């Protein structure tokens, strides 16, 4: 199923959760009824091992989804190796594996709660844009908002799903 400008299922475009997985904070943006993101949130857990942090973030995500029985669809950024200095550093540091773990667990949580799960490829939704450029583009589309660091990409993913990014 295609997303973005060619995605034709309006219900999914109008009521969905966009996720930017991150080992240093996972951004969520909940989209409702054709309005800009209804709410954003950052899931995180500091001061413990990666395994504990991952478990806690997943527990929080499960709770967020279960609180919204009407939610049918989740769009999540799919981790990808980038052949850049930053991409190589991410892969060798283990960060890419952590992202892949989160992504897989998010997919499993979504399916176990009977929600449709759609991976969103990085090159398709933002190309080579860094976080600052994503923020500028989001601010141009949705002025007057102060989205936090990890939530800004989730908002960008949501805008992409709606065909606006």
Q: Residue 62 maps to which CATH number?
A: 3.30.420.10
* Cβ neighbours for 20, distance < 8 A, ≥ 6 positions apart: 26, 27, 28, 76, 77, 150, 151, 153, 154, 156, 157
Structure tokens at 78: 């799919």
Band the pLDDT of 85: cuts 50, 70, 90: very low
**Number of structural domains found in the chain:** 1
pLDDT(87) > 70: no
For the stretch 98-134, pLDDT in tens is: 999 999 999 999 999 999 999 999 999 998 898 899 9
For the stretch 5-46, pLDDT in tens is: 444 455 556 689 999 999 888 999 999 876 778 899 999 988
Q: Report if pTM > 0.95.
A: no
Domain boundaries, position 130: 4-161
Q: Would you state the pLDDT for residue 66?
A: 95
- The separation between CA 2 and the C-alpha centre of its own chain, rounded to angstroms, equals 17
């Amino acid at each position: 199923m295609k997303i973005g400008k060619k995605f034709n299922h309006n219900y999914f475009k109008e009521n969905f959760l966009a996720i930017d997985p991150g080992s240093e904070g996972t951004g969520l943006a909940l989209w409702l009824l054709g309005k800009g993101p209804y709410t954003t949130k950052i899931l995180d857990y500091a001061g413990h091992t990666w395994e504990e942090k991952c478990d806690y973030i997943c527990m929080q995500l499960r709770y967020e989804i279960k609180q919204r029985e009407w939610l049918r669809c989740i769009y999540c950024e799919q981790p990808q190796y980038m052949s850049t200095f930053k991409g190589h550093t991410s892969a060798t540091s283990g960060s890419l594996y952590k992202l892949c773990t989160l992504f897989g667990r998010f997919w499993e949580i979504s399916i176990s709660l009977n929600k449709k799960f759609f991976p969103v490829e990085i090159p398709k939704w933002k190309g080579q844009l860094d976080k600052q450029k994503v923020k500028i583009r989001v601010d141009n589309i949705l002025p007057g908002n102060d989205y936090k660091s990890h939530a800004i990409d989730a908002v960008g993913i949501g805008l992409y799903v709606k065909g606006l990014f």
